[in-house]
Amino acid sequence: MSKPIDFYFEFSSPYGYIASQIAEEVEGRMGRTMTWRPMLLGPVMKITGQVPLVDVPMKGEYSKRDFVRSARLHKIAFRYPDRFPIGTVAAVRAFYWVNDRDSAQARKLAKALYSAYFADGTDISAPATVVEIARRIGVDGDALAKALEDPTVKDRAKREVDAAIAAGVFGSPYFVVDGEPFWGVDRIPMMEDWVRTGGW
Amino acid sequence: MSKPIDFYFEFSSPYGYIASQIAEEVEGRMGRTMTWRPMLLGPVMKITGQVPLVDVPMKGEYSKRDFVRSARLHKIAFRYPDRFPIGTVAAVRAFYWVNDRDSAQARKLAKALYSAYFADGTDISAPATVVEIARRIGVDGDALAKALEDPTVKDRAKREVDAAIAAGVFGSPYFVVDGEPFWGVDRIPMMEDWVRTGGW
């Protein structure tokens, strides 16, 4: 049995959003499952010395076009959010809390949070909004709201973010297949080739 | 008649190298010609506040793998140069001087300079090396050596670099099709779709 592929993503990343919507098709084509691992790019940027993509002079304006074109290429609804980027620590905590109980539901939650932000234009930074979206897909909202305040849950999420950084994750989406990293929606075909041909 | 597509590149860019080796096939598939426009990323980085890709923490190590994989994907010889990145102002000056006399030969020169650097491991930063490579493809080496010292030729190259920056070019390769920008070897298929479908 092959080890699952690690699929890292940041909820405020348009390319992570696109990846989340196609990840299950990719799993099917590769015959390999993925472990979904939301993380936060804020702490990464402190290490890399980078700033959010849209704030980089010249590149920022370009990236706004590329988000739209990339979504269209993959036939995924996309509207540029009014507030972007946003803090997504509540979304990350909610994901892992749900994931520890039901990983299929956690995937559903990830996709719902992403669609709320990038297709419907809902700012998902507030815990209450995350809870509301989780409730809609059948999560126990009261239990989740309580969990989001729980230091153990906060710590659980922090450890995941630290682990992602330790694994070298500097962008979103970011995949690791048997130790080989692939960054970006545009590297998914290369990853599929990699799996098909058995690597180097 | 459609306007030519602008193809901007930096001679010290591995992705620019890959693009230069496949650009003519891409032209053929699109039924559109390209104007080759070497430029310098150094002045761009002063504006964007970025550093050379391989010097970015985390991302740098990743990029070295991605150069090799991207070259392999396109079936192009590649070895990581001993010195990287390098200054390429002599290469840019030589290109435009040759281009003003014979644009087909300038393309040949660009491909030869790129292969010397990224396939053969030759440091192409020195004017004498550029002249030697140009001589091999039939350029008058003595005339070129003299031209590389000529303030008019230096100014010609500087104006091209300034024009590229004014056009928003922040990376390599960078294509502009009827006002629409495409950055990266990985965006070439998207550019081809764009041309095929007529844009937005």
Average pLDDT over residues A73-83: 96
Chain B interface disruption, residue of A46, A62, A64, A67, most B CBs within 10 A: A62
Chain A interface disruption, residue of B39, B41, B45, B66, most A CBs within 10 A: B66
The alpha carbon of residue A192 is apart from the nearest alpha carbon of chain B, in Å, by 12
pLDDT at A101 over 90: yes
For residue B1, name the pLDDT band (cuts at 50, 70, 90).
low
pLDDT at A187: 97
Average pLDDT over residues B110-123: 98
CA B148 to chain centre: 18
| Whether B58 and A69 lie within 8 Å, measured CB to CB | no
User: Which chain B residue lies closest to A181 (C-alpha atoms)?
Assistant: B62
Average pLDDT over residues A125-148: 98
Q: Which of residues 155-194 of B touch A (CB under 8 A)?
A: 168-171, 180-181, 183-184, 186-187, 190, 193-194
Distance CA A57, CA A46 (A): 18
Chain B interface disruption, residue of A50, A169, A196, most B CBs within 10 A: A50
3-state SS of chain B? CCCCEEEEECCCCHHHHHHHHHHHHHHHHHCCCEEEEECCHHHHHHHHCCCCHHHCCCHHHHHHHHHHHHHHHCCCCCCCCCCCCCCCHHHHHHHHHHHCCCHHHHHHHHHHHHHHHHCCCCCCCCHHHHHHHHHHCCCCHHHHHHHCCCHHHHHHHHHHHHHHHHCCCCCCCEEEECCEEEECHHHHHHHHHHHHHCCC
Greatest alpha-carbon pair distance for chain A in Å reads 49
Residue-wise pLDDT tens digits, B154-178 = 999 999 999 999 999 999 999 999 9
pLDDT at A1 over 80: no
**Residues 6 or more apart from B118 whose CB is under 8 A from it?**
B14, B17, B71, B77, B78, B79, B81
pLDDT at A157 over 70: yes
User: Which chain B residue lies closest to A199 (C-alpha atoms)?
Assistant: B69
Q: Considering only A103-107, B15-19, B47-51, which range has the smallest mean pLDDT?
A: B47-51
Where b means 16+ CB within 10 Å and e means fewer, A127-142 reads: bebbbbbbeeeebebe
Averaged confidence pLDDT in chain A: 96
Q: Which of residues 44-73 of A touch B (CB under 8 A)?
A: 44, 47-51, 56-59, 61-62, 65-66, 69-70, 73
Residue-wise pLDDT tens digits, A140-153 = 999 999 999 999 99
Q: What percent of chain A has pLDDT over 90?
A: 96
| Whether B48 and A59 lie within 8 Å, measured CB to CB | yes
What tokens were used for B62? 């990743």
| Whether B58 and A65 lie within 8 Å, measured CB to CB | no
pLDDT at A165: 97
Within 8 A of A170 by CB-CB distance, chain B residues are 56-59, 62
pLDDT at B198: 87
Within 8 A of B190 by CB-CB distance, chain A residues are 69-70, 73
Averaged confidence pLDDT in chain B: 96
pLDDT at A200 over 80: no
**Residues 6 or more apart from A164 whose CB is under 8 A from it?**
A8, A37, A39
Phi/psi for A180 (5° steps) reads -95, 125
Query: What's the whole-model pTM score?
Result: 0.95
Average pLDDT over residues B98-125: 98
Which among B47, B59, B187 has the least Cβ separation from residue A48? B59
Which among B57, B170, B194 has the least Cβ separation from residue A48? B57
Residue-wise pLDDT tens digits, A30-76 = 999 999 999 999 999 999 988 999 999 999 999 999 999 999 999 99
pLDDT at A78 over 80: yes
For residue A199, name the pLDDT band (cuts at 50, 70, 90).
confident
Q: What is the ipTM of this complex?
A: 0.92
For residue B183, name the pLDDT band (cuts at 50, 70, 90).
very high
| Whether A49 and B62 lie within 8 Å, measured CB to CB | no
Chain B interface disruption, residue of A58, A73, A185, A188, most B CBs within 10 A: A58
Contact B190, B177 (CB under 8 A): no
Average pLDDT over residues A123-134: 98
